[in-house]
Structure 1
Amino acid sequence: MWYKEDLAFIHDIGFSDYALKSAPGIIEILKQNNIQEGLIVDLGCGSGLSAREFVKANYQVFGVDISEAMIKLARTRVPEAKFQVGSLFQIEIPPCHAVTSIGECLNYLFDSNSDREKLIHLFHRIYNALIPGGVFIFDIAEPGQVTQETTIKNFTEGKDWIVLVEKEENRDGILTRRIITFRKVGEHYRRDDEVHRQQLYEIVEITEKLNSVGFEVQIMQNYGQYNLPLKHTAFIARKLINLNS
């Protein structure tokens, strides 16, 4: 229902910068935390762009995404990694060295499990899955993406495709994106429509939830040399090593 074939194709070919430019900074964060190898669980892995960079850096990758079309692209791109279709709020998270969720994945309201109550449960599950010293690296979109009660429309085009997006943000911090795609298939253009909704989160709320689980939290506006878009924040949540155990 989301990121179907045409939007997945367009996102992969036309909107790859976020994943590709974030990856070097994320790998550097891992190395700074003495994670030189091991399993990375990539929640909301998309078409496998980040996974490919992680595998190149000698990590193992297990990627999860709710979009079947995205997972199909990821499996083709990174055959060395393991991928599964599913909700990041429901998937079983195996023991791992790191968990990543890049590109505001935690904001999406794609299923009934993606709400504020389920977010704290996800943080608990990630904490329990991480080895001592493991890290959870992710980013969120904050309120203020669009001036409330206004509508923003824009479009992006590439070879044989165009995507039109209408965005609105309400008083409850819900961002709605109405997306229309046109993709040339054979001699004709094919149209598809999707509606994506996101719960926007304040930095302090996410920090408090992470702290309550037991994480040590660091916030950033960038992944290495890549600066995040306006009103986006990245988090490094560390599971500390218990020296008394």
Structure 2
Amino acid sequence: MKRKNGNIIATENVVSVMSKRLGFMSGVVSVVRDVTESNRAKENLKRALEQVRNALGVTIQVMVSTIEARDPYTAGHQQRVAHLARAVAGEMALSQERIDGIYMMGIVHDIGKISIPAEILAKPGRLTDVEYALVKEHPRIGYDILKDVESPWPLAEVVRQHHERMDGSGYPRNLKGEEILLEARIMAVADVIESMASHRPYRPSLGIDAALDEIASGSGVLYDSDVVEAVLRLFREKGYVLPTV
């Protein structure tokens, strides 16, 4: 539609049929509303969100580069978990917005390990109780690092929750079931699979079959059953393979 000055504007048209009598319409009411400003506001919001995402991507890349410099294993692990978590989210038919967020969350889910001494992370033998207790602090530390980072996704909260378990046996807060965000439930399963299927400083790879058996046996108890079903479909029916990064 054009204004009198020739400018083209966006409009919203609402047409209502007035009551019928004896089978005939008594009239039609049409309302035309100028939505130019509304559309402009939506576009501005879209651009603002894109700027936030771009800034967030730069921030995350700096964090990942810092981890890579001191612990290449954790960096590779995070990237593989991110790829798998994104694939699982897609298999579960989540929105593209949530899929994008889950990938970002995967890239930094172990960011809290940046505060743990490298010699503990790379220790070839069994960790002492004190060392293990320190490692278990990484979800809390990651949350503290990310909680003030502006993000369209619950980035910090998922980092804090990715070691929680459906039955409340996880850490750091012993959350149960629906108390755990879906993104964190996806991250938990992806994290376990990648960890078991890859070489660790203290043991060789256990293999993908052992990893899938582990999550299948813990379905509904430790791990979200819908997430487990999606993962098993990916690997056993659709030929998904963990990426080499």
After TM superposition, the score normalised by the length of structure 2 is 0.31
> Which protein is richer in strand relative to its size?
1
Q: Which protein, 1 or 2, shows the higher relative CO under an 8 Å CA cutoff with sep ≥ 6?
A: 1
Which of structures 1 and 2 has the bigger CA Rg? 2
After TM superposition, the score normalised by the length of structure 1 is 0.31
